[in-house]
Amino acid sequence: MATPNAKLSLGGIVRRLVHDGVLSENVAREAVQGAQREKQSVVGYIVGQNLASGRAVAEAAVREFGLPLIDLDALDLEMIPSGVISGKLLEKHHALPLFKRGNRLYVGISDPTNMVALDEFKFASGLTTEAVLVEENKLAKRIEQALQAQEAGSIAEDLDEDLENLELEEPDEEGGDEPTRADVDDTPVVRYVNKIMVDAINRGASDIHIEPYEKYLRVRYRIDGVLLEVAKPPLAMAPRLIARVKVMSRMDISERRIPQDGRIKMKLSRSRAIDFRVNTCPTLFGEKVVLRILDPGSAQMGIDHLGYEPKQKDLYTEALSKPYGMILVTARRARARRCRSTPA
């Protein structure tokens, strides 16, 4: 009696993988059924389930379909055309524009049968499309990076207005300068605070300092340990600007005499969220605000990027493998020492 798998015919890339000995016939049939069940491409299913490596699948596709193969790790990100294809189409078709030559757009795909992507990319861009094979795992990573870049870029474009010279009403003498809820939710103030935070993230800052003084207000970023002045908003904007940050971090905007702590979570994309730890401190001319940027992506650094010599790396990894103890990272300062001679 024939099993359901036996009735399933194999073709295209799956047949080539079986022919080359990368997959057994039973595993290949199960992969086809699994891809249909999960409603995804068979290439994505095979690589996602670790049935075969992305490189092995790509090389098999080259032999079967004769398309050129490119290593995405060797491709400069700056070469990838931005804004040609929307993020919605990238995600829908699991394909990525790699580079443009004249009126030709070369599109990276991991599944050689994905001709629908080429047709829709051609319609959306008005360019002739050519398919280039890439490894599935690397393609998925690059598409995610492209989606994040597009979303971050759209945020920056939405906030890219000259808010330095806002004409704000000066607080009257009777009403004082205590901001109201309407002031805090004022659209220009909201947009300006968002712009400060997004720009700090894009520039790799670790802290944002909003500092009021007697005659001016300044915003500084801490980048690589150095505080850099990036903006001088109008002084009249200070109460509303600081109150907006306090509302975002869920502090009491009516309390300005004591320090307060809070937290903000900003979602830049579906997969990237940035946390801000916020502290306020009363000063002579108003409240100073410091936002510490806690970006989990900036901490993803391997030991190979720390600049260790091979011997130092071996000593570190050996100590790290110990079942107990601790590793202390300290800063060493050179000190001049006075040498005293001792009598013989």
**182 Rama class: left (phi>0) / alpha (psi -120 to 50) / beta:** alpha
Question: Where are the domains positioned within the chain?
Answer: 4-65, 72-158, 161-297
- Partnered with residue 132 across adjacent β-strands are 108
DSSP string, 61-125: HHHHH---B--GGGS-GGGSPSSSS-HHHHHHHT-EEEEEETTEEEEEES-TT-HHHHHHHHHHH
Least confident of 151-160, 248-257, 267-276: 151-160
Residue pLDDT, tens place only, 200-254: 888 889 999 999 998 899 999 998 889 999 988 888 888 988 999 998 899 998 8
d(CA 123, CA 117): 10
What is the pTM (predicted TM-score) of this model?
0.48
CATH architecture for segment(s) 161-297: 2-Layer Sandwich (3.30)
The CATH code for residues 72-158 is 3.30.300.160
Per-residue pLDDT, averaged over 257-263, amounts to: 93
pLDDT band at 178 (very low <50, low <70, confident <90, very high): low
**Percent of the chain at pLDDT above 90?**
13
First to last CA, the chain: 102
The two beta strands, 96-101 and 104-109, are: antiparallel
